[in-house]
Structures are given as structure tokens and as C-alpha cells.
């Protein structure tokens, strides 16, 4: 489990160290202080083996176009690709891990134009800038990812554009770290939810999901997969004459199922949730936080979530203060004279802040 995390030269962060983290962590702060960027940094660090995550975080931001000789430059603070991005962590066993991201020149790159590249699950990954003429030239950049840890492990990989494609050189690894990133602006596609539900049923853990969903829909008996227009769709049994498509059962239950299934998918890894309270009514949030705590313990997942809501913080504290060991910390990002810093609240500090009505969002 990550205890402290340091970000240098990524997005809005020049040099930020944040922590200590707990199993469940909530990130607060005003707009444009880097809450989502912090989740992105954690995701890149955790997925050190896969440089394509750099493309994906940009796509999640809506950054679909880039110049072929400026690949991923927008990850660097101030768009200064001459800097070195450093993402490093120390875990609860005092072991360190670091990922350095740098640009370097390629000797020869044949640049052609392509409409788009797709990820394996069908999401649009990236679109090349078609304003550039087709050419072959020296000095185009590639992005080098270098990972090192306390055990002496080193992993080198790189990402670059060549002959119409985004290409990645990375070592084969059978044991990749697990992690899921749930973004704020949309729920995972139905086919992704269906696949994750299928994975849960294979190991006979459906009841963990159903019990969680009953927080919102107490009548729910079970979920089932059925084909609709050639796609597998999740249906719910709420005791009516026929099953209901999940999409007709409301945004809250769909959002909660997305979180619960992601927890199972991220077993022994991390789960990142941007704007966790989206779609969840305030009356169920304490129960939702308790369910998250139970699932995180069951699947051994460390959770990092963001919020803008004071009430979300209150309900999280209310849920966790009754749990053994208080496995929760609030982390507030602040912009102080152009530099992003962080304040971490443990149980006593957060209790005092809430009692006094201090601004902690």
C-alpha cells in the first residue's frame, strides 16, 4: 500500500509530496488545483509497464489531437518537455518505487498521417495532427519510461509515432499490477460492465455486488446478462414480471455497480475514482462509504477518490469513524502563490475541522 507519493514536473505539479495515505483516501480542493492530475499521476506510476497510459489520460481529458513530434509533451509541467517527470512512492514496508518520464530524440522516424489509433477495448486512443505534411526526418521525439524500485528492478519502455501508428516498446510481463480508473464524466460502457460482471460470476462473488446495490434498490434480487441489439446488457430482477435493463434503474445504481465491479477488477491493486459522489444521493452516501470500505478490505484495494462536496467529506468521516483503525484520510490540495501543496487530515484533525466548520473542500 502506498504511504507517500511525490510528483515532479507533471501537469500542474512542480514538486508535490502528499501523504500519509490510508487504504481509503479522499482528495479535495478548489477547481484547478490538480485533483484529477493527482489521480493520473498515481495511475501512470502504478502502470509503469505501459506508456500508452500517457495517451489514455489525455484522451480522458478530451485531448484527442497531437503533433507527431510533440507526443505527450502536454504531460510535462508548463509543456516543457526538457524537464523530467518523476513519480515516486514509498509503501508501508518502506520500499520505494519511481517512474521517470523523459523525451529523447529518435535517429529516424517516418511520419505518415493517420486518422486514429484504437485501444484494445474500442475506445478512441489518439488522432494524429493532419496539418503536418508527410515526411521523413531526423530528430523526432520519443518518450522514455524508466522504472526502478528498492528491489533492484528496472523496466525500460518507450512510446513513439512511426508509419501511421503509435508504437510501444515494452518488456513482456506476466504479472502486471492491477488498477482501474473511473473518470467523472461518464460511466463505463455497458460491455465493460457486462465483462466485469461475468468475471465476478465466474468466482461466485455475485452476492458481494448485489448486497452493495441494495443500498440504493432494496428490492434487487439478482443481476443477469442478456443480449440486446447484439450486445450483452445487464438486467436487474426487482420482483417485477420481467427484468429491467440496468440503464432504466437510475444513474445511482449504475454508478454504484461500476464502483463495486471496479473494486473486484482491481484486486490487490488500486482504484481511482474521479468525483466519487456523482449520481449518488446524499441519503445513501454513508452506506456507500461503508460498502467501499468492506469491498476494499475484501479485495485488498487501495482507493483514491476526489470530490468537490463538503457533504461527501462529512459522510465519509461519519462512516469511517465507527470502523476499527479509521482506514481513511482526507487530503486537501491548495494553490499557494502558484505552487500546489497538500494538507492531510487524520481522524482527529478532520473531526476538529468539521466541528469548527472549516473549509476543507
Enclosing H/E stretch for 142: strand 141-149
pLDDT at 121: 36
pLDDT band at residue 141 using 50, 70 and 90 as cut-offs: confident
pLDDT at 186: 72
**CATH architecture of structural domain 179-356:** 3-Layer(aba) Sandwich (3.40)
pLDDT band at residue 202 using 50, 70 and 90 as cut-offs: very high
Range in 57-71, 127-141, 241-255 the model is least confident about:
127-141
pLDDT at 143: 93
Checking if the pLDDT of 304 tops 50, the result is yes
**For residue 219, what is the DSSP state?**
T
Checking if the pLDDT of 19 tops 80, the result is yes
Checking if the pLDDT of 7 tops 60, the result is yes
* Three-class SS state of 273: strand
- Three cell numbers at 321? 469513524
- Three cell numbers at 135? 515526411
Give the number of other Cβ atoms within 10 Å of residue 72's Cβ. Answer: 23
pLDDT at 283: 93
Each residue of 79-107: pLDDT tens digit?
Answer: 999 999 999 999 999 999 999 999 988 75
Checking if the pLDDT of 214 tops 90, the result is yes
Checking if the pLDDT of 124 tops 60, the result is no
Q: Partners of 90 in the beta sheet?
A: 4, 96
* Three-class SS state of 9: strand
Percentage of the chain surpassing pLDDT 90? 68
Checking if the pLDDT of 260 tops 80, the result is yes
Q: Partners of 4 in the beta sheet?
A: 90
Residues with Cβ within 8 Å of 241's Cβ and at least 6 positions away in sequence, in order, are none
C-alpha span between 330 and 146 (Å, rounded): 31
pLDDT at 177: 73
Checking if the pLDDT of 112 tops 90, the result is no
Q: Structural domain boundaries of the chain?
A: 179-356
pLDDT band at residue 173 using 50, 70 and 90 as cut-offs: low
Q: Nearest to residue 146, comparing CAs of 102, 190, 180?
A: 102
Mean pLDDT score of the chain: 87
Range in 101-115, 185-199, 210-224, 237-251 the model is least confident about:
101-115
List, in sequence order, every beta strand (DSSP E) within 45-134: 65-66, 85-91, 96-105, 109-111, 117-118, 124-128
pLDDT band at residue 51 using 50, 70 and 90 as cut-offs: very high
Are the C-beta atoms of residues 170 and 48 closer than 8 Å to each other? no
C-alpha span between 199 and 197 (Å, rounded): 5
pLDDT at 133: 40
**Global pTM exceeds 0.75:** yes
Are the C-beta atoms of residues 103 and 143 closer than 8 Å to each other? yes
pLDDT at 70: 83
| Arithmetic mean of pLDDT, 254-276 | 96
pLDDT band at residue 174 using 50, 70 and 90 as cut-offs: low
| Arithmetic mean of pLDDT, 37-44 | 97
Q: Grid coordinates 447484439 are at which residue? A: 230
| Arithmetic mean of pLDDT, 210-229 | 94
- Three cell numbers at 361? 473542500
pLDDT at 135: 38
Checking if the pLDDT of 128 tops 90, the result is no
Amino acid at each position: 500500500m502506498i504511504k507517500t507519493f511525490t510528483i515532479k514536473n507533471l501537469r500542474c505539479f512542480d514538486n508535490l509530496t502528499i501523504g500519509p495515505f490510508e487504504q481509503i483516501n479522499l482528495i479535495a480542493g478548489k477547481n484547478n488545483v490538480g485533483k484529477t492530475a493527482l489521480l493520473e499521476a498515481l495511475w501512470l506510476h502504478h502502470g509503469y509497464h505501459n506508456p500508452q497510459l500517457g495517451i489514455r489520460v489525455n484522451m480522458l481529458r478530451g485531448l484527442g489531437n497531437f503533433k507527431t513530434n510533440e507526443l505527450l509533451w502536454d504531460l510535462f509541467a508548463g509543456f516543457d518537455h526538457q524537464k523530467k517527470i518523476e513519480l515516486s512512492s514509498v509503501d508501508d514496508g518502506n520500499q520505494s518505487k519511481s517512474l521517470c518520464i523523459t523525451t529523447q530524440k529518435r535517429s529516424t522516424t517516418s511520419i505518415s498521417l493517420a486518422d486514429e489509433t484504437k485501444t484494445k477495448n474500442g475506445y478512441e486512443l489518439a488522432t494524429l495532427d493532419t496539418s503536418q505534411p508527410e515526411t521523413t526526418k531526423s530528430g523526432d521525439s520519443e518518450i522514455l519510461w524508466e522504472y526502478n524500485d528498492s528491489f533492484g528492478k528496472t523496466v525500460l519502455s518507450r512510446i513513439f509515432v512511426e508509419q501511421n501508428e503509435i508504437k510501444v516498446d515494452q518488456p513482456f510481463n506476466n504479472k502486471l499490477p492491477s488498477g482501474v480508473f473511473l473518470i467523472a464524466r461518464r460511466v463505463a460502457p455497458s460491455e465493460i460492465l457486462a465483462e466485469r460482471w461475468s468475471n465476478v460470476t465466474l468466482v461466485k462473488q455475485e452476492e458481494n455486488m448485489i448486497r452493495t446495490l441494495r443500498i440504493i434498490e432494496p428490492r434487487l434480487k439478482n443481476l443477469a446478462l442478456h443480449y440486446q441489439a447484439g450486445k450483452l446488457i445487464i438486467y436487474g430482477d426487482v420482483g417485477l414480471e420481467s427484468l429491467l435493463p440496468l440503464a432504466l434503474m437510475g444513474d445511482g445504481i449504475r454508478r454504484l455497480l461500476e464502483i463495486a465491479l471496479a473494486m473486484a477488477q482491481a484486486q490487490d491493486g488500486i482504484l481511482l475514482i474521479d468525483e466519487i459522489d456523482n449520481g449518488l444521493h446524499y441519503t445513501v452516501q454513508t452506506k456507500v462509504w461503508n460498502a467501499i470500505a468492506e469491498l476494499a478490505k475484501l479485495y485488498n484495494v487501495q482507493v483514491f477518490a476526489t470530490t468537490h462536496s463538503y457533504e461527501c467529506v462529512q459522510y465519509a468521516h461519519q462512516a469511517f469513524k465507527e470502523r476499527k483503525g479509521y482506514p481513511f484520510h482526507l487530503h486537501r490540495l491548495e494553490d499557494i502563490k502558484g505552487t500546489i501543496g497538500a494538507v492531510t487530515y487524520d481522524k482527529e484533525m478532520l473531526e476538529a475541522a468539521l466541528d469548527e466548520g472549516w473549509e476543507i473542500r
